[in-house]
Amino acid sequence: MSQFAEYAISALLLFGGAFTLVGAIGLARLPDFYTRLHGPTKATTVGVGAIMLSSVIYFSSVDQGIDFSEILITVFLFMTAPVSANMLAKAAMHIGVKTVKDTEGNPWHQ
């Protein structure tokens, strides 16, 4: 493995780890359910994206030749994360979860 690849992998791992940590902090710090919903969809998009990229670089530099399986994991994650966020939001609106009091606008009831 070249030195450049090692640095790139370390940087991406640190970057992805930092974003996942911030997502977790957000889950604890944000005021209500709807704002906390932003944590999981965000931390996964950038944090997991960076970690997957580092995995692609590692296996490409070890095995010679790009391995696409990690890219597929990222693609599947990007396709499923919005759906789960949408389902959580719909369920919260259905049972009437309270919003934080300075929220503008209202959730629907249909």
Partner 1 sequence: MFDRLNFPQPWLSWVLFLTWQILSDGVTGGSVVLGLILAWIIPQLTHGFWPERPGFKKPWRMPAYILRVLKDIVIASFSVAWLILSPRSPRPVFISYPLKLEHPLAISILASTISLTPGTVSADISDDNKTLLIHALDAASDQEVINDIYNSYEKPLMEMFQ
Which residues make up the interface to partner 1 (CB under 8 A)?
A: 19, 22-23, 25-26, 29-32, 34-35, 37-38, 41-42, 45-46, 49, 68-69, 72, 78-79, 81-83, 85-86, 89-90, 93, 99-100, 102-108, 110
Provide the minimum distance between the beta carbon of 4 and partner 1 in the complex, in angstroms, as a whole number.
21
Provide the minimum distance between the beta carbon of 31 and partner 1 in the complex, in angstroms, as a whole number.
6
| Residues 40 and 85 sit within 8 Å (Cβ to Cβ) | yes
Provide the minimum distance between the beta carbon of 3 and partner 1 in the complex, in angstroms, as a whole number.
25
Q: 57, 51, 46: which is closest to 22 by C-alpha?
A: 46
- Comparing CB distances to partner 1, the nearer of 10 and 84 is 84
- Each as own residue / partner, the long-range contacts of residues 87-93 (CB below 8 Å, 24 or more positions apart, any chain) are 88/37, 89/34, 89/37, 92/33, 92/34, 92/37
Residue with tokens 């944000």: 30
- Comparing CB distances to partner 1, the nearer of 33 and 61 is 33
